[in-house]
Chain A
Amino acid sequence: MSIKYNDFVIRFANVNGSGSASANGMFAKALFRMGIPVATRNIFPSNIQGLPTWFEVRVSEKGYLGRREGVDIMVAMNAETLIEDVASISPGGYLLYDNSKPLAKALRRDDIHEIAIPIASMMLPEFTDPKQRSLFKNIAYLGALAGLLNIEFDVITGMVATQYKGKDALIQPNIRSLELGRDYALNYLEAPLPLQVRRSEAVGDRIMIDGNDAAGLGSVYGGATVCAWYPITPSTSVAESFENHSNVLRIDKETGQKKFAFLQVEDELAAIGVVIGAAWNGARSFTATSGPGISLMSEFLGLAYFAEIPAVIWDIQRSGPSTGMPTRTQQGDLIGAAYASHGDTKHPLLFPATPKECFDFAAQALDLADRLQTPIMVLSDLELGMNDNLSEPFEWDDSRRYDRGKVLSATDLDEVEVFGRYLDVDGDGIGYRTYPGTHPEKGAFFTRGTSRDEFAVYTESGEVYQRNMERLQKKWQTARTLVPAAEIADQGQSVGVLYYGTTALPMPEALDNLAQNGIYMDTCRVRAFPFGDEVEQFIAAHDLIFVAEQNRDGQMRSLLINELQTEPSKLISVLYYAGLSISADTITEQISDYYIENKLSRVTEVQS
């Protein structure tokens, strides 16, 4: 049998809260440290302890990071889900299970390989404490996998040493458990399997990090000094990352005091209020939330749009509507975020696709908010935010200066003859602002959500109100030129595919699959709303555009139609919204089906 290297999907079926996360994480990290591209996915319930949870690792020498359908190796550690877990294994795949209790006959499949290890029995004489026994079971499985898949054992033991540095008592039982598992695999099983790993150069200098951690770190680098937030899955770790990094990187060396304010507030209404109050008073501030939080923040977002106050909001999207599936991913908040609040409001959105982009956009969003004097929302999702992803390493140019936008200092105010907060001096729709307390005589103004004139004086004049709304529209046009441009690959094909955020992850694989079917497409990865000219041109230059996204209603497609007056029949939705991330298989299948149903010509057909 020929050996297949570095190309499989392994899934660990666990019970939530059983200590499996640490062992699972070590498995993925070990492969990553061997230079093999991995993508991890936690599939977990909205629960603290007891319910089923799965951890999936996609291993791909080619560097495909999107989700792939099918499971090649199932590590079945949860009796409760055993039936569905066995059923989900691809034909020819492997079932790794604990045969301390025999596998029910009904579960047996002819088309898969069973790998039985009596882990529970093996642990019994080793550990007297039942809790320890259960914890180290996870580690023993990892040891067995090292033997079965040929993972470099030193890499794993090295990680144990680092992870438990200072808790030496834990190192020995971990190593012992690893060895128990590995030795069983080597002595009693046909190890290694024909499905193996081997050291690779494919990772390069990439790092492995989740998007939320990257966002928190990027906010530190971008100069955020105030973070107000309310816990909500899957966004919580953005705020926690900001606090953790700040506690190391933002401590005054002399006094030990904090150069940041971190406040968990009573709800999302308060979180956005604090952010707006801080930004009004000249501090860079941000919050992180998910869809339900955006709904709650909408009133304040309208105020900030109309009163022109910077704010940065991270929306780590999850499945809606309402509480929906709070621990599953989706791209369902586009329309809600883009037009959040009553009246004529619209807000710039950024769509990061990788941890590197989370880091970069965190800093850029703070610049954009200050420059445009308006809320900027960064739409990430659970897939990117909470899973460890391969990412280009972070970079920072030390000569970079924060763009604080148009702010007048006391000296500036001494020099200007006329100050009007909402005067469009430069013709870009953006006025000059002042921070409170700047000057004893000049520059003070009253901020309000009610209509006012160019000098911030309350007015109910319809003409003045309309003039202000038109200026805000002009500012929107300025925003189009400042937000991150779409990434376009144009080979002159007549068909294109447009996508954003984590739908980018499976796209290289989907494009390769489609090319094998004779379907070639240009690509446009939208990175921000409002859409720049390049998006408009991409749409104009193609006869047909597939819009791939992870929601039911084709929200990006709606935005394109609404904002660019695109002919709707030209935009074909490719949709997935069942809670996991969109897979290359789904994209390939939906686009191929469209080609077949509509008898579109493919390159292979032309050639034949």
Chain B
Amino acid sequence: MTFVAKPKVHHPKLPVNELGLTRRDYEGSVSTLCAGCGHDSVSAAIVQACAELSLPPHRFAKVSGIGCSSKTPSYFLNKSHGFNSVHGRMPSVMTGSNLANRDLIGVGVSGDGDSASIGFGQFAHIVRRRINMLYLVDNNGTYGLTKGQFSATNDKGSTSKKGIPNLYEPIDLVSSALQIGASFVARSFSGDKKQLVPLIKAALSHKGMAFIDVISPCVAFNNHSGSTKSYEFVRDHIHNVMDADLIMAHDEVTADYAEGSREDVTMPDGSTLQLYKVDADYDPHDRVGALNYVQRMQEKGEVVTGLLYVDPDAVECHDIMDTVSQPLNELTEADLCPGSDTLDALNQRYR
């Protein structure tokens, strides 16, 4: 396959961020996914979010598993290292990467085939370990690369392209993440960039495990009538409970929502997370309540989106382990090797 590289010359009117960089500096290679694939919108949203946050484009560790979604780390943040690992195993590779260098920003991209089947165990365990990262699932309910088999997130009764219904219960990753202990849980829709970009920004500013399930329709195999993961179905059934926006530390916090419906949350990096309650009764700090809400709406066939749960005071794995603040991969012999005198003393202990 050949593809033409995008010209590196920036349009003079492209906005420049605090680092003097434009959105182009956060892009990746040209996507090889199908035209109209929801995943490309997600990659574009990541690019926009990282550019708007003025994060250094080379300080990310991008890790993925196997599948269409897992190809996408090639399509954003070209200046950072990426690792397309094995099926369902992004969480373990990301865990290792994070243990080695806690300073890098971990972005793990996975799919429903990757995270809800072979990777379901690793998904659960990275969530409970609270690795500091953005765990983003491009959720299309189907196995695209192998031509349209149902995945484990496909709703019962939702049909294949040939009209055959799925007979089995779906796994809801959002409910699992809430139950197991993710400290930031959101769901969004690849067709709603206005919602998705701020959510990614908020997730990147969050300390700890931030999980975003993005319904991202597969135009080739799961975008027909009868599918509950099509653009049309999701647009018709979306139920947004909580808009979020991230205001940088030095920017003015402006209120343009009705009194009482907004909550400002200070994030660990000094930025402010503004939450706008679309559903007045929803409490984004009540984990069990969020889980109930999501499940109840799911029973009605509604797709709940928005920032569903956030614990701004959450801890991350390095806090739990009590590791040094310096990245472990920077430690040298002087830090690591106890030396011969200590060894002689140890020998004596074994006599």
Contacts and interface: CB of A to CB of B under 8 A. Distances in A.
Contact of B85 (A257, A281, A303): A303
Interface residues of B, number: 60
A214 to B, nearest CB: 9
Interface stretch (A121-129, A392-400, A568-576, A584-592): A392-400
A440 B58 contact: yes
Contacts of B84: 446-450
B336 A274 contact: no
B321 A273 contact: no
Given A207-B350, A460-B1, A223 B86 contact: no
A398 B338 CA distance: 9
Nearest to A223: B336
Interface string A248-279: 01101001111111110111011111111111
B336 A437 contact: no
B328 interface: yes
Interface string A438-461: 111100111111100000001010
Nearest to A421: B81
A521 B225 CA distance: 79
B331 interface: yes
A231 to B, nearest CB: 15
Nearest to A33: B351
B13 to A, nearest CB: 24
B58 A269 contact: no
Interface in B16-53: none
Given A277-B96, A303-B86, A221 B121 contact: no
B97 A278 contact: yes
Contacts of A440: 56-58, 79
Interface string B60-101: 110100000000011000111111111001011111111111
Nearest to A271: B92
A436 interface: yes
A86 to B, nearest CB: 35
Contact of A436 (B61, B125, B331, B351): B61
Contacts of B324: 252, 255, 257-259
A595 interface: no
B101 A436 contact: yes
Q: Chain A interface: which size bin?
A: 35 or more
B340 A398 contact: yes
Interface in A412-450: 434-441, 444-450
A281 B92 contact: no
A277 B58 contact: no
A209 interface: yes
B32 to A, nearest CB: 9
Nearest to A457: B29
A273 B93 contact: yes
Nearest to B340: A396
A405 interface: no
Contacts of A279: 96, 100
A278 B103 contact: no
A75 interface: no
Interface in B299-351: 321-325, 328-329, 331, 333, 335-340, 342-344, 346-347, 350-351
Given A226-B328, A395-B343, A220 B338 contact: yes
Nearest to B349: A207
B214 to A, nearest CB: 22
B92 A437 contact: no
A454 to B, nearest CB: 17
B101 A283 contact: yes
B117 interface: no
Interface string A277-289: 1111111010000
B122 interface: yes
Interface in A494-529: none
A446 B81 contact: yes
A13 to B, nearest CB: 27
A207 B83 contact: no
12 contacts: A225-B336, A259-B331, A259-B336, A266-B125, A273-B93, A281-B61, A281-B100, A434-B81, A436-B80, A440-B57, A446-B82, A449-B85
Given A278-B328, A446-B73, 12 more contacts: A208-B350, A221-B338, A258-B323, A258-B324, A259-B323, A273-B86, A273-B96, A275-B96, A280-B83, A282-B101, A437-B61, A446-B84
Q: Which 9 A-B pairs have the closest CB atoms?
A: A277-B96, A273-B92, A283-B100, A278-B96, A282-B329, A436-B81, A277-B93, A281-B100, A207-B350
